[in-house]
Chain A
Amino acid sequence: MKLSAARWPAVAVLATLTLASCATGTGAAGDDANYDPDAALSGDLTVLGFGAGDEIATTRMDEAQKALGDDVDVKLVEGDLDIQQLLSSIAAGDPPELIYANRDQIGSLAARGAILSLDKCIDGEGIDTGQYVKAAVDQVTFDGSVYGIPEFNVVQLTMANTSLLDAAGLTIADVNGSNWDAVTAASTALVKNDGGALSTIGVDTKMPEFFPLWAKANGVDLISDDGKTANLNDPKAVEAVEFAVGVYDDQGGFAPVKAFRDSADFFGAGNQYATNQLGSMWMEQWYVNVLNDVSPDATISFDTFRTPQGEPLAFASGSAWAIPAGSANAAAACRFAKAMTATDSWIAAANARVKLREADGKPFTGLLTANQDADDAVRELVTPSGDAQWDSAVEATYLANDNTFSLPANPADAEFKNAWQDAVNRVLNGQASAQGSLDQAQEEAQKALDAAWAKFDKD
């Protein structure tokens, strides 16, 4: 019993050593695919992270299939990209051929060699990166190479309740961020607080999610252009947090505002605008369509987000196609991404949507594709709704789209993002002061960045 008892761990250790060589991952895999727009392609194309839910997706997928030809079998693994799913497949050396990720995930994947540099793909297939919105391309550029093909752009707009503004003698200019004192004053004027319980939120500064926007408005970039130095506790950033959180504090604190906001019927006819539960907030542009759908009669004023200098500004985010290292069909993946984001594909998709909206008797409010050429073309298709209010929303959307910025890719993007989000949350929850919290975040973020860059430079 004793001898055999000793034998088993030994066997296990041996097994470990042999099987350990199984977990090689794909980091060492290079890009040896041949990219040629005229070549006939075949094989499987498994796509992780994309779902063909609406006409915008399906129309473009038809175009992509045409470009690929009949011999390529496109398989969508429906559902958002899950990191556990992706990492497991990479560990086993069997990644999908193409992934659809958030642009702010690209940096760390690129730094670790999980995805291929698309330079060869772009050259080979002849993709014109100039056609994409600059901020979008910047987000997926790492160490001088492009690692993702951008798709979709999301920007922020100011959306205010016109009747509430009028009642308080305010205008959109008071709440669009062009004057921070005015915003604070407006919030105090608009908020309604019946003995502790909020019945109307004054101004919602949307912290923590819009912190980069507030910081940039105040003149500071949260991370240096080369993605190496974090800038989270810059005095201007601290100022921005103090201001934005201050707006909540004036209304009784973040907790009551969030609680009240959470119980709102965000997507329904009883939304915060229709029921006068909100004075003004900044929100992503796709919400315009929702409001138009469920409460077309609500009185809402739209504008872009404005800097204290009165200039429009938006923080761009969205998705991107990326090719995992070790992809079995990089050539098809590249062509698929090209076709999905091609100007013509977008126009076809927009036309499909226009038809559907016409059938419903609703206006087409445009589409932000991250492809500037496509954006311009699609804008032509926008049908005036006959209502100045909704038309101004579309105007504001496109204006914002022309004035976007983004945070550059960096090899520790998850840690960086968590660092500043946690920092702002600490301030919101009253656990720390803005300065102290951001100091902590700066330390965490810089440490992570240094470690990640050191590792990248070493390899």
Chain B
Amino acid sequence: MTTTTGRADAAELALAPVQAGDPPALPATQRRTPPRRRLGQVLVYVALTVFAVVFTYPFIWLVSASFKPRSEVFDNLLIPKTFTIENYLNIWQEAPIGVWLVNSVIVTALAAICVTASSALVAWGFAYFRFRGRGLLFALVIGSMMLPGAVTMIPTFLIWNGLGATGTLTPLWAQNLFGSAFYIFLLRQFFLALPRELFEAAKIDGAGNWRIFTRVALPLCKPALAVTLLFEIQAAWTDLLRPLIYLRDSATFTIPRGLKSLLDQFGFGGEWHWEVIVTASVITTVPMIILFFIGQKQFVDGIATTGSKG
């Protein structure tokens, strides 16, 4: 039905700052929003706000509890009766948070960037090309997610040990050089959703495989790439298991690992020292929230500025 150019126009439209579902631009005389539309919009905001409260309440509780002295952590007041930053000071003084922060940043940055780049490459390989064995190989990709990590943990440890990398930060991120099944699958789905005509057009214009990948496919999937980046940042930042088994020197600890050693000092895994647990959770989470918030702009900018395809 639509020609190649029709699709391209559609793509541009989809990527323009107009949200999908918004009414098309009306001439000035008709631009006043009908009351029904406005009501709908209000309802949307109400619903979102209700859900937002549900989603954020536990976290607000966490933050507020971290500013309370131990005796008030459970008093269920959102605004602390006694506001204190003692918990944060204690942790800051007791622990080399600065060092842990640096380690976390290094590991997370490397992990996220590597996995996004490598997964995009691999996903493109699976989405764009047709070749024998593609189905089988992709099945292996998915299959690799189906075996619980608990049983491959020790063999993987042995590999890194054999490579002499235990005790360093390398095992915490280096596997991401080879892509990750989850993101490969995710990006492949996004690549497959792109209309083939775009690539044909680029080919006709003389673009080679690499060009098509970098100038056509990638820009159109920026949201998906941003998602990959963000998810891996979250995963790498909060990972506790890998630092636990690979790291011994507290100077190499990442934040989750460092906080665990702090908590365990209180006995029973710090189980009942809620004020420390809560503060530790907030410290772990806040940097990511800030990053995510900043990253929001990238989302919008990215989408808005990639109207063209090369």
Assembly CA distance A82 to B247 (angstroms) = 13
> Does A87 belong to the interface (CB within 8 Å)?
yes
Q: Which residue of B lies closest to A266 (CB)?
A: B272
Nearest CB of B to A381, in Å: 22
Q: Which residue of A lies closest to B267 (CB)?
A: A286
Nearest CB of A to B14, in Å: 39
Q: Which residues of B contact A91 (CB under 8 A)?
A: 154, 157-158
Assembly CA distance A80 to B263 (angstroms) = 9
Q: Which residues of B contact A265 (CB under 8 A)?
A: 71-75
Interface centre among A46, A92, A270 (most CB of B within 10 A): A92
> Does B161 belong to the interface (CB within 8 Å)?
yes
B162 interface neighbour in A1, A19, A87, Cβ under 8 Å = A19
Q: Which residues of A contact B257 (CB under 8 A)?
A: 79
Cβ A22 vs Cβ B261 within 8 A? no
Q: Which of A319-371 contact B (CB under 8 A)?
A: none
| CB 8 Å contact bits of B213-236 with A (1 = contact, 0 = none) | 000000000000000000000000
Cβ A92 vs Cβ B272 within 8 A? no
Interface centre among B159, B265, B273 (most CB of A within 10 A): B265
Assembly CA distance A69 to B197 (angstroms) = 76
| CB 8 Å contact bits of B263-275 with A (1 = contact, 0 = none) | 0111101001110
Interface centre among B71, B159, B266, B269 (most CB of A within 10 A): B71
Q: Which residue of A lies closest to B95 (CB)?
A: A78
> Does B10 belong to the interface (CB within 8 Å)?
no
Cβ A294 vs Cβ B157 within 8 A? no
Q: Which residues of B contact A267 (CB under 8 A)?
A: 70-71, 272-274
A51 interface neighbour in B70, B265, B272, Cβ under 8 Å = B265
Cβ B75 vs Cβ A270 within 8 A? yes
Q: Which residue of B lies closest to A286 (CB)?
A: B267
| CB 8 Å contact bits of A304-324 with B (1 = contact, 0 = none) | 000000000000000000000
> Does B24 belong to the interface (CB within 8 Å)?
no
Nearest CB of B to A60, in Å: 15
Nearest CB of A to B275, in Å: 8
Assembly CA distance A47 to B257 (angstroms) = 16
Assembly CA distance A88 to B273 (angstroms) = 29
Q: Which residue of B lies closest to A84 (CB)?
A: B245
> Does B279 belong to the interface (CB within 8 Å)?
no
Cβ B161 vs Cβ A94 within 8 A? yes
Nearest CB of B to A455, in Å: 20
| CB 8 Å contact bits of B146-172 with A (1 = contact, 0 = none) | 000000011101110110001000000
Cβ A294 vs Cβ B158 within 8 A? no
A22 interface neighbour in B73, B162, B245, B249, Cβ under 8 Å = B162
> Does B37 belong to the interface (CB within 8 Å)?
no
Cβ A19 vs Cβ B158 within 8 A? yes
> Does A269 belong to the interface (CB within 8 Å)?
yes
Residues of chain B at interface, number, CB under 8 A: 36
Q: Which residues of A contact B248 (CB under 8 A)?
A: 46, 75, 77, 96
Assembly CA distance A115 to B249 (angstroms) = 23
Q: Which of B69-99 contact A (CB under 8 A)?
A: 69-75
Cβ B265 vs Cβ A92 within 8 A? no
Q: Which residues of A contact B154 (CB under 8 A)?
A: 23, 87-88, 91
> Does B241 belong to the interface (CB within 8 Å)?
yes
Q: Which of A248-275 contact B (CB under 8 A)?
A: 263-270
Nearest CB of A to B131, in Å: 10
Assembly CA distance A78 to B249 (angstroms) = 9
Q: Which residues of A contact B267 (CB under 8 A)?
A: 286
Cβ B250 vs Cβ A77 within 8 A? yes
Q: Which residues of B contact A19 (CB under 8 A)?
A: 158-159, 162
Assembly CA distance A324 to B7 (angstroms) = 67
> Does A195 belong to the interface (CB within 8 Å)?
no
Cβ B158 vs Cβ A23 within 8 A? yes
> Does B133 belong to the interface (CB within 8 Å)?
yes
Nearest CB of B to A11, in Å: 15
Nearest CB of A to B171, in Å: 11
> Does A85 belong to the interface (CB within 8 Å)?
yes
> Does B260 belong to the interface (CB within 8 Å)?
yes
Cβ B158 vs Cβ A263 within 8 A? no
> Does A5 belong to the interface (CB within 8 Å)?
yes
Cβ B269 vs Cβ A80 within 8 A? yes
Q: Which residues of B contact A266 (CB under 8 A)?
A: 272
Cβ A51 vs Cβ B261 within 8 A? yes
> Does B31 belong to the interface (CB within 8 Å)?
no
> Does A53 belong to the interface (CB within 8 Å)?
yes
Cβ A53 vs Cβ B266 within 8 A? yes
Nearest CB of B to A14, in Å: 15
What 5 pairs between A and B have smallest CB-CB spacing?
Answer: A268-B71, A53-B265, A78-B261, A79-B261, A92-B161
Residues of chain A at the chain B interface (Cβ within 8 Å): 1, 5, 19, 22-23, 46, 51, 53-54, 75, 77-80, 82, 84-85, 87-89, 91-92, 94, 96, 263-270, 286, 294
15 A–B contacts, CB within 8 A, in A order: A22-B162, A23-B158, A51-B261, A51-B264, A75-B249, A77-B250, A78-B265, A79-B261, A91-B157, A94-B161, A265-B73, A267-B274, A270-B74, A286-B267, A294-B71
Residues of chain B at the chain A interface (Cβ within 8 Å): 69-75, 132-133, 153-155, 157-159, 161-162, 166, 241, 244-245, 248-250, 257, 260-262, 264-267, 269, 272-274
